[in-house]
């Protein structure tokens, strides 16, 4: 298998998905007008990964901003991860938020309440 | 046109940025960049800066998505919208205005009234419900925008519909962002 990576832009995050290592990293801003189009390749890569998932999968999400259009797509990504977790790969989602960003912490807790995968809330200093 | 009158009104209302015209994706990228720079220059505190930025994204993308709906029906003049961003007494105000088809008014009004009727805790639950079960529209977050704005600002959504003719009205939304929340 391989890697799926894309560079970040002012409106979209960088994505680094190491399918061999079982590590997915999403970092930056996610505020595109059309989020479905942006997240489709990642959802496809997760589908591919699901058929040969590693024993453990680590997901690092470190977003500075995300819009409500992205929030649905991020949920779709997490639902894929929920399936992968059920399928036998131990998934952990590390949700990073900046010290003063209570809204981002709350957003992580919203996902935690919906998705049946272990979440870790990680505070980062600016 | 009395330019001084426009200038004076903007000055008195402490308008930081104002735009009238067609809302494109590139325009939004630029506007967000400008506002971010302005807030940096004003040495806005990071927490406030994030809140304003988040709410601005939702407000402006609302405009962007809804302009599409109306173009199918009417002429070019209707493609344009207006927004202003101001700051007074440590409170930001984001005001948007756009045309809306009269037939869509009731649906929107009901959604806004529903959001306005909810407490902070209820908004959190409502957000999760819509996020998890709501229909994802091809464009936006399927109604999450207004809930998110209300949640992040902790303020009621102030709005108005001004009837223009039997087909369209002008919808204005007035959002306040202050630091008292949370």
Inspect the interface and report whether the beta carbons of A10 and B29 lie closer than 8 Å: yes
What string of DSSP letters covers B144-172?
Answer: HHHHHHHHHH-S--EEEEEE-SSSEEEEE
Residues of B whose CB is below 8 A from A126: 46
pLDDT per residue over B79-107, tens digit each?
789 999 999 989 999 999 999 989 999 99
- Measured in degrees and rounded to the nearest 5, phi and psi for residue B116 equal -70, -20
Chain B interface residues facing chain A, Cβ-Cβ under 8 Å?
25, 28-29, 32-33, 46-47, 50-51, 53-54, 57-58, 61, 64-65, 124, 127-128, 131-132, 134, 136, 138-142, 144-145, 147-148, 152, 182
CATH topology of domain B3-177: Heat Shock Protein 90 (3.30.565)
Taking all residues of chain B, what is their mean pLDDT, rounded to a whole number? 89
pLDDT value at residue A125: 86
What are the structural domain ranges in chain A? 32-124
Full-model pTM:
0.92
Neighbours of A60 (CB within 10 A): 17
3-state secondary structure of B176: strand
Question: Which residues in chain A have their CB less than 8 angstroms from residue B47's CB?
Answer: 100-102
The domain segmentation of chain B, as residue ranges, is 3-177
Phi, psi of B166 (to 5 degrees): -75, -5
Q: What residues have CB less than 8 Å from A5, skipping those under 6 apart? A: A14, A15, A16, A17
Question: How far apart (Å, rounded) are the C-alpha atoms in residues B135 and B155?
Answer: 26
For residue B58, the chain A residues in CB contact (below 8 A) are: 67-68
User: What pLDDT shows up at residue B182?
Assistant: 45
Question: What does the pLDDT profile of chain A (126 residues) look like in tens digits?
Answer: 589 999 999 999 999 999 999 999 999 999 999 999 999 999 999 999 999 999 999 999 999 999 999 999 999 999 999 999 999 999 999 999 999 899 999 999 999 999 999 999 999 986
Q: What is the ipTM of this complex?
A: 0.92
Q: Given pLDDT bands bounded at 50, 70 and 90, which one contains residue B137?
A: low
């Amino acid at each position: 298998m391989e890697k799926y990576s894309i560079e970040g832009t002012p409106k979209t995050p960088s994505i680094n998905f190491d399918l061999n290592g079982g590590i997915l990293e999403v970092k930056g801003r996610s505020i595109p007008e059309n989020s479905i189009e942006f997240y489709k390749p990642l959802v496809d890569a997760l589908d591919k990964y699901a058929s040969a998932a590693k024993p453990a999968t680590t997901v690092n999400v470190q977003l500075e901003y995300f819009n409500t259009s992205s929030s649905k797509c991020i949920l779709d990504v997490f639902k894929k991860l929920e399936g992968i977790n059920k399928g036998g790969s131990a998934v952990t989602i590390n949700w990073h938020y900046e010290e003063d960003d209570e809204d981002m912490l709350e957003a992580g807790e919203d996902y935690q309440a919906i998705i049946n995968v272990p979440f870790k809330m990680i505070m980062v200093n600016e | 046109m009395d330019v001084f009158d426009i200038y004076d009104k903007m000055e008195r209302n402490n308008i930081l940025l104002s735009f009238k015209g067609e809302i494109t994706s590139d325009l939004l990228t630029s506007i967000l960049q400008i506002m971010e720079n302005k807030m940096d220059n004003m040495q806005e505190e990071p927490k406030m800066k994030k809140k304003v930025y988040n709410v601005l994204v939702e407000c402006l993308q609302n405009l962007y998505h809804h302009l599409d709906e109306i173009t199918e029906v009417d002429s070019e003049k209707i493609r344009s919208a207006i927004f202003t961003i101001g700051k007074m007494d440590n409170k930001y105000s984001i005001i948007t205005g756009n045309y809306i088809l009269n037939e869509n008014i009731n649906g929107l009004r009901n959604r806004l009234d529903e959001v306005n009727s909810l407490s902070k805790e209820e908004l959190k639950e409502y957000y999760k419900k819509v996020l998890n079960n709501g229909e994802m529209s091809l464009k936006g977050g399927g109604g999450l925008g207004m809930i998110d704005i209300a949640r992040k600002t902790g303020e009621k959504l102030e709005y108005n519909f001004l009837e223009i003719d039997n087909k369209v009205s002008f919808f204005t939304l007035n959002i306040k962002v202050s630091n008292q929340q949370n």
